[in-house]
Amino acid sequence: MDRKEEAADLARGLAEAAERNARWRRSECMNLIPSEQPTSAFVDQLISSEPAARYNEHNRDKSRPPDAPHVRYYQGTDFMMEKEEDLKTALRFFFGCRQVETRVISGQMANEIVFDALKQLKRNQRAADQTGLLRCALIHSLKNGGHLSAQPMGALKNYVARDTESGAPVIHHFPCKRLNPYMVDVEKTKRLIGETRPDLLIFGRSVILYKEPVREIVQFIHSEFGANNPDRPLVMYDGAHILGLIGPDYQDPLVEGADILTGSTHKTFFGPQRGIVLSNITSDSAFYELWLHIEARTFPGHVSNHHLGTLLGLLGATYEMIRYRDEYPKQVIANAKAFAKALADCGLVVEGDPGCWFTNTHQVVLRAGPAKGREKACILEDNNVITNAQALYDDDGFAVASGLRLGTQEMTRYGMKETDFRELAQLIADIVSKGQSSGAWRETVVRMRRRFTRMQYCF
């Protein structure tokens, strides 16, 4: 067989394999990973529409007023410029915010853009220190659910100063409550802020069961440093996981005083895989220069072309979120609470406070046993239940993860309600407590999943 024929055969095989995988994940698996969900057919159509193959680089002309049209570097972009403005309008409405940066193509990139912009701001503010490095940052530790993008080993690496003696990054971790390590200890945090005076606080995490104390900490910072003091700590909320839950059913970080809200748009939000940066910073704020740096560090700093197909898809997904904002978040959280309680009733060890329903988000965290997280996740996968291993606060690291992280957002969107998650909890308990890698419960899971294959909360 010559190479041309081989390529054609490989292409056919690829198409068939992709179709099999889609059938398995969309109609035979219970998908419970909290950081993902598929887009609707409406959004898929937008993602693959004509602009997906096009470019639309543009930025602010510094010689013109801030609200002047951006300078464009490609022709034929009238449609996408219009739709980008429509996306900003829709996001401003949904999140009740003033500033929107939509050109970011991932949540991790959104975080790094904010770090980069803050570094530029500090470089301008501190003439004696032209590095612009953050003197100190307050973050969630990785084992307490902090995301890699906010760790010194991740995206924060090049933006925070190092201790002159130890050489270690100057970071501190949020103190957590002794009886519930998934909640921040507010009073200890206030004392730590007063002692360390960080340039940056990052709320939000990838294991998040409860609200973050944004309002209490912002009020303390404003009282301690001054609300419009450009040298006070910047309060950032990484909303990647809870972006689609923001509002009266969960919490609203910007209303509670966070300066910046970042997020990826494909976990609890209905969008394709992209990122956004949001804020209520105004032109009379001491941090307005920061917002201008955020725009500039997006383009041309971190993005060239910003993937117009998924941007158009995000506009469609935002319209879906607006339409279903009163029903979807409420059901996701209700399902998570019912799921967690049912798992506990089945004898599994559920992390969190049972007095608070174990969770107030889409996430449920199980304790699988010492270093048993990956093993149990693999057994569940063999039975078509898709989760991921998770290091818990008392583990030595992810290599010996003792937990499982589950989310209700995707299967909620496919129509599951509280009673269905209780049924699934019993199945999971049977698989985890009795199952081996033989897939003995696979057909039972498939039969259950086939009751939930039509996506809801969508156009």
List where CATH 3.90.1150.10 sits in the chain. 327-449
Decide if pLDDT at 127 tops 80.
no
Residues of CATH 3.40.640.10 domain(s) within the chain?
Answer: 47-322
Instruction: State the pTM of this model.
Output: 0.96
pLDDT tens string 211-225: 999 999 999 999 999
Q: Which pLDDT tens digit goes with each residue over 174-184?
A: 999 988 999 99
Min mean pLDDT across 13-17, 48-52, 121-125, 323-327 is at: 121-125
- Backbone phi, then psi, for 308, in 5-degree steps? -70, -30
pLDDT digits (tens, 9 = 90+) for 27-86: 999 999 999 999 999 999 999 999 999 999 999 888 888 778 899 999 999 999 999 999
Query: Average pLDDT in the 135-161 region?
Result: 91
Q: How far apart are CA 168 and CA 157, in angstroms?
A: 11
pLDDT tier at 257, thresholds 50, 70, 90: very high
The CA distances from residue 44 to 90, 134, 314, 338, in Å, are: 19, 40, 10, 31
- Residue 135: CB partners within 8 Å, gap ≥ 6? 161, 170, 197, 198, 199
**Nearest Cα residue to 427 out of 436, 437, 435:** 435
Q: Count of CB atoms within 10 A of residue 361's CB?
A: 25
At 126 the pLDDT is 84
Report the CATH fold assignment for 47-322. Aspartate Aminotransferase; domain 2 (3.40.640)
Tell me what the mean pLDDT of segment 223-252 comes to.
96
Domain 327-449 = CATH 3.20.20.70: no
pLDDT of residue 437: 61
pLDDT above 80 for 145: yes
% the chain with pLDDT above 90: 87
pLDDT of residue 280 exceeding 90 = yes
Closest by CA position to 236, among listed 196, 194, 201:
201
Look at residue 95 and tell me whether its pLDDT is greater than 90: yes
Q: What CA–CA distance (Å, rounded) separates 288 from 428? A: 50
User: SS in 3 state form for 155-187?
Assistant: CCHHHECECCCCCCECEEECCECCCCCCCECHH
3-class secondary-structure state, position 366: strand
